[in-house]
């Protein structure tokens, strides 16, 4: 029997990413787990207005999403503990740039996306930034043929429910396929 546990958002786990932006002329990176997909090539990141990174996204109208791997869990956590207001996070990683030129990306992350800011939804405490992915950069060792292989990538999953990091499990099956057996012929 189900128990009502209140009006809680329990939509976890979520992928943990490092959002990059230029702030006051330097790259800054913040750990963000409240990410989403708005459209095929448009993504969302929900960022508390107090964060240092937000001003850079608003000013430059772009940001990057960098996917760290399991072995980067400590440095990823660190970027979510300290603010660029208090500590310079620009030298924690090797930074590279893509076609936008001012969306700093992280060389150590095997998967990076540079995004053009296309909309901002102004919530009382959060900026919901909507970005269009304009360039995706992926290390060959996490690819199978021309696709990103998430089992090779080993992203970090985050749950607020029990404040823990998790890793990916096994593949369950093929979407738009394994359900077909319920079809009445
Ligand atoms: C695992 C993890 C996930 C986080 N997810 C979010 C998030 O989705 N949105 C948010 O506003 N802050 C999130 N944070 C907090 C920010 O990363 C943190 O406040 C950071 O210091 C902000 O950096 P900045 O001030 O340099 O921008 C998260 C922190 C951790 C450790």
- The pLDDT value recorded for residue 56 is 98
Whether 177 is covered by a domain: the verdict is: yes
The pLDDT score that the predictor gives to residue 146 is: 94
Closest-CA residue, ligand 1 atom 5, reads 32
Q: What is the DSSP letter of 156?
A: P
Ligand 1 pocket by C-beta < 6 Å: which residues? Answer: 16, 28, 30-34, 46-48, 51-53, 77, 80, 82-85, 158
Identify whether 131 is part of a domain.
Answer: yes
Domain count within the chain? 1
User: What is the Å distance from ligand 1's center to 157 Cα?
Assistant: 14
Ligand 1 atom closest to Cα of residue 34:
8
Does any domain span residue 53? Answer: yes
Centroid of ligand 1 to alpha carbon of 67 (angstroms): 14
For a mutational test of ligand 1's pocket, the pick from 49, 65, 80, 82, i.e. the residue with the most ligand atoms closer than 8 A to its C-beta, is: 80
Mean pLDDT, the chain, rounded, equals: 97
Q: Is residue 155 assigned to a domain? A: yes
Specify if 2 maps to a domain: no
pLDDT at 185: 75
Which pair of tokens denotes residue 16? Answer: 């943990």
Strands (E), 123-183: 126-138, 143-144, 147-148, 157-159, 164-166
User: Is 3 within a domain?
Assistant: no
Measure 156 CA to ligand 1 centroid, in angstroms.
14
Q: Does 8 map to a domain?
A: no
Q: Tell me the CA distances in angstroms from 103 to 60, 61, 116, one per residue in order.
A: 8, 9, 9
CA 54 to centroid of ligand 1, rounded, Å: 11
Q: Whose CA is nearest to atom 16 of ligand 1?
A: 80
| Rounded Cα–Cα distance for residues 58 and 103 (Å) | 12
Residue 141 sits in a domain whose CATH number is 2.30.110.10
DSSP 35: E
In the three-class reduction of DSSP (H, G, I as helix; E, B as strand; rest coil), residue 106 is classed as: strand
pLDDT in single tens digits along all 185 residues of the chain: 999 999 999 999 999 999 999 999 999 999 999 999 999 999 999 999 999 999 999 999 999 999 999 999 999 999 999 999 999 999 999 999 999 999 999 999 999 999 999 999 999 999 999 999 999 999 999 999 999 999 999 999 999 999 999 999 999 999 999 999 999 87
Do the domain assignments include residue 102? yes
Residue 47, domain extent: 14-182
pLDDT of residue 129: 98
* Beta strand segments in 6-138, E: 14-15, 17-23, 26-32, 35-39, 42-48, 62-67, 95-96, 105-106, 111-122, 126-138
- For the segment 86-122, what is each residue's pLDDT rounded down to a tens digit? 999 999 999 999 999 999 999 999 999 999 999 999 9
User: Which residue has its alpha carbon closest to ligand 1 atom 4?
Assistant: 32
Cite the DSSP H helix spans in 3-141.
53-60, 73-79
Determine the pLDDT at residue 25: 97
Q: What is the pTM of this model?
A: 0.98
């Amino acid at each position: 029997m189900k128990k009502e546990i209140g009006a809680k958002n329990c939509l976890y786990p979520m992928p943990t990413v490092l959002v990059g932006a230029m702030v006051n002329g330097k790259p800054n990176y913040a750990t963000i787990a409240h990410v989403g997909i708005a459209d095929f090539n448009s993504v969302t990141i929900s960022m508390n207005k107090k964060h240092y990174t937000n001003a850079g996204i608003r000013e430059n109208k772009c940001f990057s999403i960098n996917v760290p791997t399991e072995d980067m869990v400590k440095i990823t956590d660190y970027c979510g503990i300290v603010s660029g207001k208090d500590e310079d996070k620009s030298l924690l990683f090797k930074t590279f740039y893509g076609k936008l030129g001012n969306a700093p990306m992280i060389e150590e992350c095997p998967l990076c996306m540079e995004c053009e800011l296309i909309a901002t939804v102004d919530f009382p405490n959060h900026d919901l930034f909507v970005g269009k992915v304009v360039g995706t950069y992926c290390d060959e060792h996490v690819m199978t043929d021309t696709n990103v292989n998430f089992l090779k990538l080993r992203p970090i999953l985050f749950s607020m429910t029990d404040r823990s990091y998790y890793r990916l499990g096994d593949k369950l099956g093929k979407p738009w396929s394994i359900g077909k057996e319920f079809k009445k012929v």
